[in-house]
A and B are shown apart, each in its own frame.
Chain A
Amino acid sequence: MNPVPLALDLTIWMLALASVLSVYRVLRGPSLPDRVVALDLIATVVVGIVIVYSIQTDTAVILDVAIVFALIAFLGTVAFASYIERKEQQR
């Protein structure tokens, strides 16, 4: 008996649920940094989804997408943080 297909399905569902919960925090989150933290978590979850998808479809090339996505998410978070800090300084 091979448990991998079942585990892949369950993991995809759990990651989808995690991103839905984070979207709730993005929409509601009382301050701007809250939303940025939630977006950062969504980016990490999407990296996980890409990895699981590459195993599911047996295509290793898709892992490159995960690498690029992790980098872009980090850059976006740092840009948001410097924007928040600069806005605070100008006030």
Chain B
Amino acid sequence: MKEWVIAVSLLTGGVLMLLGAVGLLRMPDIYTRMHTATKPAILGSGLLAFAATLYFADLLVTLRALLIGGLVLLTAPVAAHVIARAAYFAGVKLWEHSVRDELKGMYDPDSHILHSPSHLNRDTLRE
């Protein structure tokens, strides 16, 4: 029974990472690529760490696996956000069929300030 759980979580983790790489290859612009590369990688490495926990069944290994899962869970979204921000500032274009760009006109390249959309202004929120 335990062997089957280990095998299934290993295979699911591998398939998720493979899907993330396929999405990185197939998606049309950097923002969709980043979205499709980050999320499966988090769940995939978490599942692989879970498989290691079950396989070794040891306290120290469990702590290490939790550390790996927690680190990836904390750092991957931050890295994706930082890269998306840098890409938007560097002027990387959205896909031509993108429906909405809420940051359009909000970034001032001279002062390096990113304004909030008008419906999120402090004055209108207070009302």
Contact = CB atoms under 8 A, between A and B. Distances in A.
Interface of A: 2-4, 6-8, 10-12, 14-15, 17-19, 21-22, 24-25, 31-34, 36-38, 40-41, 44-45, 47-48, 51-52, 54-55, 60, 63-64, 66-67, 70-71, 73-74, 77-78, 80-82, 84-85, 87-89
B3 A85 contact: no
Contacts of A54: 52
A61 to B, nearest CB: 10
Given A31-B90, A84-B87, A37 B75 contact: no
A81 B85 contact: yes
B85 to A, nearest CB: 7
Contacts of A33: 30, 83-84, 86-87, 90, 92
B34 A70 contact: no
Contacts of A88: 86, 89-91, 109
Nearest to A69: B68
B25 A63 contact: no
19 contacts: A3-B4, A11-B13, A14-B18, A17-B21, A31-B87, A37-B83, A44-B72, A48-B45, A51-B68, A52-B10, A52-B14, A55-B52, A60-B52, A63-B68, A70-B68, A80-B86, A81-B82, A81-B86, A82-B86
A48 to B, nearest CB: 5
Given A2-B3, A60-B60, A84-B87, 20 more contacts: A4-B3, A4-B7, A7-B6, A11-B14, A14-B14, A15-B17, A17-B18, A21-B24, A37-B33, A40-B37, A40-B38, A44-B41, A44-B42, A44-B45, A47-B45, A63-B52, A66-B68, A67-B64, A73-B75, A82-B82
